[in-house]
Amino acid sequence: MKILFFMKGIVKSLSKGDVFRNIFSALLKTIAFFTVIAAIVGFFWGFDKLHDDLGFLTYEKAFRIFSALLVLLIEGWMLFQILWIRSDVISDIPESDYNVVPIVAVLLKTTGEVISIYIAVGTIIFWLDGGYLVNTLLFERGFPTWLFFSSISYLRVI
């Protein structure tokens, strides 16, 4: 008869909150890992496209575009750090009567930090390259925006 009542253990683990903390902590670490990989791939992809257009650009413009690509790489590292730190914060949340509320609070705080980085870095990149990455790489060359969780996706809207 005990085998038919298997939900008791599942309900106990859900009420403790360990399941939610572990799931969301692992999810943020996974997103952080893919974000830094996408930033590296996006940097080298943009550098390759910059190298193709080097004959048509002035040295100042090429330097500004390269600086924008470096800012994108730094942005990926910043996002990685934020997501990794917040995943540790989620895993360190103590047990309480309300388990999901502190997790949602940390996720909302993380969302605000990520959006502020997108806006700040997007503004810096647009200022540095004058729209070259947006116009040339996105619209003329078909930048794989699904691959790169970065300000390029934000700038595409502008």
Most confident among 38-47, 65-74, 86-95, 148-157 (mean pLDDT):
86-95
Nearest-angstrom CA–CA distance, 99 and 97: 6
pLDDT attached to residue 125: 77
Are 117 and 150 a contacting pair, CB within 8 Å?
no
Does the pLDDT value for residue 57 go beyond 90?
no
pLDDT attached to residue 149: 45
Does the pLDDT value for residue 35 go beyond 50?
yes
Are 144 and 152 a contacting pair, CB within 8 Å?
no
Q: What is the DSSP string of 95-148?
A: P-S-SHHHHHHHHHHHHHHHHHHHHHHHHHHHHHHTTHIIIIIIIIT---TTT-
Considering the entire predicted model, what is its pTM?
0.73
Are 74 and 40 a contacting pair, CB within 8 Å?
no
Exposed / middle / buried, residue 142 (Cβ in 10 Å: 0-12, 13-18, 19+) = exposed
Does the pLDDT value for residue 150 go beyond 50?
no
Residue pLDDT, tens place only, 105-122? 999 999 999 999 988 887
Does the pLDDT value for residue 95 go beyond 90?
no
Q: From the CB of residue 151, how many other CB atoms can be counted at a distance below 10 Å?
A: 24
